[in-house]
Every structure is written in structure tokens, then in C-alpha cells.
Structure 1
């Protein structure tokens, strides 16, 4: 099993870097995961990450990119609920990369 070090604590992740235990998630864990991907998390990133965590708490599923885009558009407006904006924030795939940073499982349908 792979691990990452965060604030002196060892956190288990799977082979793709997703948390194996969702309760290990903290903002520091998300920040460390982003650093590994050479990504500095901005307020815009956190807006999407927090949205995903709320969505998961409500529906118990990590949304695929099409569902994510539509849901974000509904809540945060059309300027943020579009693929171009989300791919600028998360170039490795908005649903896949943002879910990883949010401590959620990989969305179904993502390769």
C-alpha cells in the first residue's frame, strides 16, 4: 500500500493516490496531494473541493464530470459550471482530480 506523509502522520493511499480511509482527510492532506501533482490550491479549487465533499455527504457518490459540471453550474453559476473552467483548475480531469483532493473515491466511469 502506498502512503503520503502529512504533518508527521502517515496516510494510506491506493495506487492512484486516493485515500483508502476517507476519515483521514484534512485540508492539509488535500494540500499535500495537490503538491504531489504540482498544483497550488486556490480559493477556486477549495470551492470545488468543498462542493464535492457536500455532494458526497448528500448522495454517497462521487459525481462523474458531466454531473459535476451541471451541479456546480446550478450552485455556483454558469461561469463556474462549465468544463473549460473546471479543466483549468483540475487539468488531470475535474471529477477525478478534485475528488482525489476532496478525499473521495474515484468517480465511477473515470479511467
Structure 2
């Protein structure tokens, strides 16, 4: 499977997660969001960039519970809750946000 971004073919798996994490660009995130009928806002980018930093440090995508707690610590209690994260990523904050961030599917996500 693959997606087209700026005339370049980017390889994805059957769920549209990038096969090669090094292929990720902001434009790829935008294309993936558009497929899900979402427009990425500054709030989305806060979470996406946090996930990329987390992955760089720990080499793993955080589980939703870990993500929720970490977002609350970094950005405040109003953002560190499932309701807020599901508002931004309706198909699941771990699963959908990690896909947009070019990361592997988080462990425990169905």
C-alpha cells in the first residue's frame, strides 16, 4: 500500500501507518488527516509533535493512558483527558495521532 505526497510515493501498511518512519513529513500528516476528513490545527500539532518527541526519546509510542497523563503534565489538565484527545482524534488518540505522527501503531491498540 502507499500514499502520494507531493508527487512522491510513500509506502504504508494496510492501516496507513508508514513503513519507513524516516519518510515522515508534515505534508504526509496533512494527507493522512485529509483521508480521515480532518484538518490539522495547532492543537493537533501539539499532540503530534509531543508524540514524535516521546518516540524519539523512548523508541515506543505511548499507550493512551500514558499519553493522556503526559499531555496533562505538559499542557495542563484541560488537555490531559480522554474527552479532549478524542475531540481532536475521533478514531482514537493513540492510534490516529500516532498514524499522523508517522509512528508505529501503539501497543495495545486494536
TM-score (norm 1): 0.98
Q: Which residue of 2 aligns with 1:66?
A: 65
Matches within 5 A, 1:92-107: 92-107=91-106
Compute the RMSD of aligned alpha carbons.
Answer: 0.4
Tell me how far 1:27 sits from its aligned partner: 0.1
The whole-number CA distance in structure 2 between the counterparts of 1:3 and 1:56 is 23
Across the two proteins, how many residue pairs are aligned to each other? 110
The whole-number CA distance in structure 2 between the counterparts of 1:104 and 1:39 is 18
Q: Which runs of 4+ in 1 moved over 4 A?
A: none
Q: Which residue of 2 aligns with 1:43?
A: 42
Mind listing any 5+ residue stretches in structure 1 that lack a counterpart?
Answer: none
Tell me how far 1:63 sits from its aligned partner: 0.6
Tell me how far 1:5 sits from its aligned partner: 0.2
Tell me how far 1:61 sits from its aligned partner: 0.5
TM-score (norm 2): 0.99
The whole-number CA distance in structure 2 between the counterparts of 1:81 and 1:4 is 32
